[in-house]
Structures are given as structure tokens and as C-alpha cells.
Amino acid sequence: MSSKKVLVAGGGGFIGGHLVARLLKDGYQVRSVDIKPTDNWYQVFDEVENVVADLKDHEACQQACQGVDDVYNLAADMGGMGFIENNKALCMLSVLINTHLLQAATDNSVSRFFYASSACVYNADKQVNEDVVPLKEEDAYPAMPEDGYGWEKLFSERMCRHFREDYGLRTRVARFHNVYGPDGTWDGGREKAPAAICRKIINAVETDEKEIEIWGDGKQTRSFMYIDDCIHGILAIMDSDILEPINLGSDEVTTINGLVEMVEDIANVKFEHNHNLSAPKGVNGRNSDNTLIQQHLGWAPGIRLRDGMQKTYDWIRGEHLKKHEKQTV
């Protein structure tokens, strides 16, 4: 067991749960904090100090940071496009989490601080075409991020920078590009496109439906990063000397229609596609330029989208069947 103790804020969430698992495997002592009751955490580990607390509260952050060497802040009120486009105020309130954690980390002489930002910080004018040019880190300015969620992330990036400059806190910032995989949100309205598509196709198979709904025209382009690649990247960035925010994402591009067809192929089915043009669809095109992270860290995603989606589909299908069995008992 390592003598180093780390805090994972948002440890009951999708990425946080996987990060806790990896840190445990690497021998760290872990304090995991989330606002949800532990029964609602995606992964819970007996070896971890599991704490239920609202990190928007300053005193909760002070207590969470006591006695820890490193802080990983993945806590935020967020979800897929259906959530963030309709809950801008809730998303903006997450600024309290990062602000209070930065203050608490400084007060408690924390050594290192990681902040999970998002590709939603990027200038919208750079994402108007499906034939997308990969987004470089410099494309966040001049600022025109996603309204609500993107502004909160961009502001919090600046807070990390200034706490590093003014107080000497060693901050590191990664801009996540569409992380997906097992042990995450797959229904309820906060799920992202890969999980939502898997759920829709699984449900259609189970209920003998003939069509599925796709938000938007399906031509919008995206890249999706499997959770294992994300965790590897987080740890590499935390250990690095990279001072400015850096992209952490796959550069394997697909359309939403292409992603649907991929999952249909995994399920060995084919449906009619009902495109809901009034549903939230986000920007027309977004992809990660990985030049900097490859140059500085030699990092590149190791899991192909098709392979990651197979694992994700299998897990969601198991969860769907378990939920259905409970409802019919």
C-alpha cells in the first residue's frame, strides 16, 4: 500500500469510479466523494474511504482535502446533450465545486490537482461543419464555448491556471472528448450518445420494434474515447509537466448515423431510422487534435471504437435485462 492518499471528487460517477479502481490497483489510499448516496454510485469499493457530501459547499471541500496529497476533480452536474442544453444553470453551478476544491487544496497544502474539463469549451465557430477540422488546444479562444456547461468548464480552467500562478498549486487540466464505456449512465436522460444508442437498439430488439429515433439528422461527426484510454491519459497528464489544458480524446471520427449502424452490426439487426430534427444534437462536427499529447506524453488511444462499443453494448444489455427482470417480478 502506498503512503500517498488521493481524493477523487465525483468518485461515484462513471469516470470517477473507473479512476478509483485504477488508483486502488496501483496501491494508493483513496478517498472517494460524491453527492449521491453510495447505493447510486456506479462502483463502490470497501477498501476506499467513501464519503457522501455536496462539494459545492466550501466546508465539505475543506474536509475532503484534509490529509490528501493529490486531488482529482471529476465532480460536475452534467450529462449528454439532452441534459446540458436544458439545464444550463445547474451546469454552471458546478463552478462552485472546482472553486471551493481549489481553495481547499491550497489551504491543505495538496501537492497536485487534476481538473476534468471538456471539449465543450471550444469555439462554436470551429464546429459548424460535419467535415470537421480536428480541434487544437488554441481553438478555445476567442471564447465561444457551449452555453452553460462549456462556459463553466472554461472558467474553471482559468481558475486552475491562476491558482497555479498565484499560489503554486500544481494544476493539470484535460479536455475530455466524449468518454464512453461500461459502468456508466445508460438511461434516465443524462446518458451520452454511445450509451443512448445502445439502449435504444437493445430496447427495440427486446420489444420487437421496427424503428429507432436518432437525434438530429445523424450527419454530425464526433470522436469517442473508451474509458480505459481515458484513465491512462488522466494519470499520464497528472504526472506530466504540461501546464496548459490539453486534449484527451480519440481522433477516430464517425458520424452519429455511422455509430448507429455500428451498434446495429454488433446486435446483428437493422432498423428504420426516425430522425428527430427538433431534438438536441450539439455542434455539427467535433474531433480531437492529439498532436500535443502525442508529442509530450506519447499517448494515443489504444481501443478501436468498434471494440469499445462491443464491450459497452454487452454491459448495457446485461443492465437492461436485469432492470427488466426487476420490473416484471
Length of the chain as a residue count:
329
- For Cα atoms 271, 323, 214, give the angle at the middle one, nearest 5 degrees: 30
Per annotation, catalytic residue among 72, 149, 180, 226: 149
Instruction: Please report the DSSP string for 96-125 in residue order.
Output: HHHHHHHHHHHHTT-SEEEEEEEGGGS-GG
Cα-to-chain-centroid distance, residue 194: 12
Is 115 annotated as catalytic?
no
To which H or E segment does residue 152 belong?
helix 149-167
Cα 313 to Cα 282: distance, rounded to the nearest angstrom: 23
Q: By C-alpha distance, which of 92, 100, 102 is closest to 152? A: 92
Cα 126 to Cα 132: distance, rounded to the nearest angstrom: 8
Cell numbers 444489455: residue: 317
Cα 329 to Cα 325: distance, rounded to the nearest angstrom: 6
Q: Considering Cα of 161, then 166, then 169, then 170, what sign does the dihedral take?
A: positive
Cα-to-chain-centroid distance, residue 142: 24
To which H or E segment does residue 33 belong?
strand 29-34
* Whether residue 245 has a cis bond before it, omega within 30° of 0: no
Which residues are identified as catalytic?
Answer: 149
